[in-house]
């Protein structure tokens, strides 16, 4: 070759489908560029630019390839060097389209491993190489999918870990584990929707959006579709399902964030109709509303009344014809009298010994019941398996697609029922709390419902009312609370021990501690 010959301009295009290949493996970007540069130097080409991409080869929006084509449009006759035809694409049709596009732009495609030409033999070789690349791509995809499906059939999640989980290497490869503190946030959101704390998906979205620990997307927003995916994802219950791959619902190898029963409640709420968001309830300002009755036996209502200096809270009787109709009772007055009344419900120390023995007997009785329930649940599992086998046999015997679909849906529901029963059996063997812990919780309430009332929210106050008094209390506007009735636990303790739980009038008695005070209000037993 003559030294003063004009050098031809050339550009290099390199591509890897995974960013890890850029430096970790031998076919990385640097090795591709080195191969193409050596080829260009041997050809005495003038290398003008190197264009790179790190993404799959079948995408049309590869920025590096777009820049390379734009360069060729501006500089006709430029040589485009690639280290292998599959750098343009592994799909035969896409490769041929790109090849023709570069030719029409005025570019010349060259490669160190083969020679491009217009002869029949050159085109044959080129098409064979492109076809082999497509085969390898499809074969690799099939093998990868087959391995992923096999792992999914064994109960392992094979895609990106959803919020609340992360991957951890274990004896059987990577598996999902809790990712705190996000896991606790997701658990709170899912359980809150299942049991009514969050009335709608929008409420769940609002909770996650404003929780500082929950990860947002690139724009700092929790999208609605993401909430929908979370609520429909059985992974959070420790189960796995991939319908597109033929992987039916099955127990997964990882531990869930919620129970399967909670997951079922979520599905019932999602498919049971639209839930309107809860409006602010006036009961939050008036916890005794509806539970305390007027002397005419009509439950008192409540309201905020506007005065000259602001709004004031009142209880009042809504019944027309009652002598107290429309006459207000200050909230502070009636609630302070109730709190004083509630404070008198306090058994003596000797009653606690009786209570402990009672709870122990009840605990042992429930344990015996659990064994019987476990045996019944085992029989239910056998029945479910029998029904599944029957439907499978019917599927084999029919060739009607609609009937097969109906049978498959029924089998799926039976499987869900089976998982719920298995979960109940597993949980039935272990109590939710130890006897001592459960006893402390029960005695904490019996010892002083007043403490829970003062410290609790509206729901806890409502619970105190239901557990302490079996029926609504009567309140006379000018007299206060009338004769009351205590709930069963306090009655039983009184009857067994022979002691009396004092319920003294709040204006006339001190707090009771096991002895009858003067001027007590009568107690219905």
Q: Can you tell me the distance from the alpha carbon of 201 to that of 225, in angstroms, rounded to the nearest whole number?
A: 10
The per-residue pLDDT for 236 is: 92
Would you write out the chain's pLDDT as a tens digit for each of its 525 residues? 445 566 789 999 998 877 666 555 555 788 888 999 999 989 899 999 999 988 775 666 788 888 999 999 999 889 999 888 888 877 777 788 888 888 888 888 888 888 887 777 777 877 787 777 777 777 777 888 888 888 888 889 988 899 999 998 877 788 899 998 889 989 989 988 888 778 888 888 888 988 888 988 888 888 888 999 999 999 998 999 888 888 888 888 888 898 888 888 898 888 875 444 444 455 578 888 888 888 888 888 888 888 778 888 999 888 888 888 888 888 899 988 888 888 877 666 666 666 666 666 666 666 666 666 777 777 888 888 888 888 888 888 888 888 888 888 888 888 877 887 777 777 665 555 555 555 555 666 666 777 778 877 777 787 778 777 888 888 888 888 887 777 766 666 555 545 554 443 444 333 333 333 333 333 333
pTM: 0.47
Q: Is the dihedral of CA 87, 92, 94, 96 positive or negative?
A: positive
8 Å CB contact between 316 and 302: yes
The per-residue pLDDT for 12 is: 93
Write out the two tokens for 440.
């402390």
Q: Can you tell me the distance from the alpha carbon of 47 to that of 11, in angstroms, rounded to the nearest whole number?
A: 6
DSSP 299: B
CATH architecture assignment, domain 9-138? 3-Layer(aba) Sandwich (3.40)
DSSP 3-state percent helix, strand, coil across the chain (nearest 5): 50, 15, 35
Pairing relationship of beta strands 484-485 and 523-524 according to DSSP bridges: parallel
227-232 LR contacts (CB < 8 Å, sep 24+): 227/201, 228/201, 229/162, 230/162, 230/163, 230/186, 230/189, 230/190, 230/204, 231/190, 231/193, 231/201, 231/204, 231/266, 231/270, 232/267, 232/270
Burial class (CB in 10 A: 0-12, 13-18, 19+), 334: buried
Residue 161's alpha-carbon distances to 18, 165, 400, in angstroms, are: 19, 6, 39
**The three-state (H, E, C) secondary structure of 400-461, written as one string:** CHHHHHHHHHHHHHHHHHHHHHHHHHHHHCCCCCCHHHHHHHHHHHHHCHHHHHHHCCHHHH
Question: Torsion angle of alpha carbons 478, 479, 480, 481, nearest 10°?
Answer: -140
The per-residue pLDDT for 362 is: 65
Overall CATH class of domain 165-271: alpha beta
Q: Where are the domains of the chain?
A: 9-138, 165-271, 349-437
**Comparing C-alpha atoms, which of 341, 160, 296, 335 is closest to residue 235?**
160
Could you tell me which residues come within 8 angstroms of residue 154 by beta carbon, excluding any fewer than 6 positions away?
Answer: 253
Q: Can you tell me the distance from the alpha carbon of 17 to that of 190, in angstroms, rounded to the nearest whole number?
A: 37
Q: Can you tell me the distance from the alpha carbon of 230 to that of 248, in angstroms, rounded to the nearest whole number?
A: 18
The per-residue pLDDT for 51 is: 92
The per-residue pLDDT for 414 is: 83
* Gap between the terminal Cα atoms of the chain: 118
| Cβ neighbour number for residue 16 with a 10 Å cutoff | 23
Beta bridge partners of 314: 303, 330
Supply the DSSP string of 193-252, one letter for each residue: HHTTSS-SHHHHHHHHHT-TTSPP-TTS---HHHHHHHHT-GGGGTEEEEGGGTEEEEE-
8 Å CB contact between 189 and 230: yes
Write out the two tokens for 180.
């705190």
Beta bridge partners of 293: 299, 474
Q: Can you tell me the distance from the alpha carbon of 262 to that of 33, in angstroms, rounded to the nearest whole number?
A: 55
Whether the bond between 204 and the residue before it is cis, its omega within 30 degrees of 0, is no
The per-residue pLDDT for 520 is: 36
Write out the two tokens for 264.
């079922």
């Amino acid at each position: 070759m003559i030294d003063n010959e004009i050098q031809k301009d050339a550009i290099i295009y390199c591509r890897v489908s995974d960013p890890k290949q850029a430096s970790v493996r031998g076919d990385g970007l640097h090795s591709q560029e080195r191969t193409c540069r050596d080829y260009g130097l041997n050809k005495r080409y003038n290398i003008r630019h190197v264009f790179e991409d790190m993404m799959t080869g079948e995408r049309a929006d590869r920025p590096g390839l777009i820049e390379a084509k734009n360069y060729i449009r501006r500089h006709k006759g430029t040589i485009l060097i690639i280290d292998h035809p599959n750098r343009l694409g592994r799909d035969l049709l896409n490769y041929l389209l790109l090849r023709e596009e570069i030719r029409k732009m005025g570019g010349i495609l060259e490669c160190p491993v083969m020679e491009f030409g217009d002869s029949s033999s050159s085109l044959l070789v080129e098409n064979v190489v492109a076809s082999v690349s497509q085969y390898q791509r499809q074969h690799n995809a099939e093998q990868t999918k087959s391995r992923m499906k096999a792992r999914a059939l064994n109960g392992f999640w094979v895609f990106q870990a959803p919020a609340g989980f992360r991957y951890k290497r274990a004896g059987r490869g990577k598996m999902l584990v809790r990712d705190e503190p996000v896991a606790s946030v997701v658990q709170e959101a899912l359980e809150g929707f299942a049991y009514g704390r969050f009335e709608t998906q929008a409420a769940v979205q609002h909770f996650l959006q404003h929780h500082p620990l929950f990860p947002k997307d690139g724009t700092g927003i929790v999208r609605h579709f993401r909430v929908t995916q979370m609520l429909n994802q059985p992974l959070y219950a420790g189960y796995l399902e991939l319908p597109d791959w033929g992987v039916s619902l099955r127990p997964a190898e990882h531990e869930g964030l919620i129970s399967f029963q909670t997951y079922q409640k979520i599905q019932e709420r999602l498919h049971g109709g639209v839930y309107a968001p809860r409006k602010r309830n006036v009961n939050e300002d008036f916890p005794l509303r509806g539970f305390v009755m007027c002397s005419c036996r009509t439950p008192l209502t409540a309201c905020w009344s506007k005065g000259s200096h602001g709004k004031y809270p009142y209880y009042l009787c809504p019944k027309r014809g009652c002598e107290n109709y429309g006459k207000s009772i200050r909230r502070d007055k009636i609630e302070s009298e109730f709190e004083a009344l509630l404070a008198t419900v306090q058994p003596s120390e000797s009653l606690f010994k009786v209570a402990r023995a009672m709870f122990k007997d009840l605990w042992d009785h429930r344990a015996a019941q659990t064994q019987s329930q476990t045996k019944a649940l085992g029989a239910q599992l056998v029945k479910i398996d029998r029904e599944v086998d029957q439907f499978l046999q019917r599927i084999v015997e029919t060739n009607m697609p609609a009937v097969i679909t109906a049978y498959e849906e029924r089998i799926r529901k039976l499987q869900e029922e089976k998982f719920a029963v298995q979960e109940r059996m597993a949980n039935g063997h272990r109590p939710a709390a130890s006897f001592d812990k459960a006893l402390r919780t029960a005695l904490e309430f019996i010892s002083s419902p007043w403490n829970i009332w003062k410290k609790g929210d509206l729901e806890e106050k409502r619970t105190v009312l239901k557990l302490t008094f079996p029926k609504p209390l009567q309140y006379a506007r000018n007299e206060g609370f009338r004769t009351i009735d205590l709930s069963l636990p306090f009655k039983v303790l009184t009857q067994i021990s022979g002691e009396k739980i004092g319920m003294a009038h709040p204006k006339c008695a001190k707090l009771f501690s096991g002895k009858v005070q003067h001027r007590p209000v009568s107690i219905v037993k």
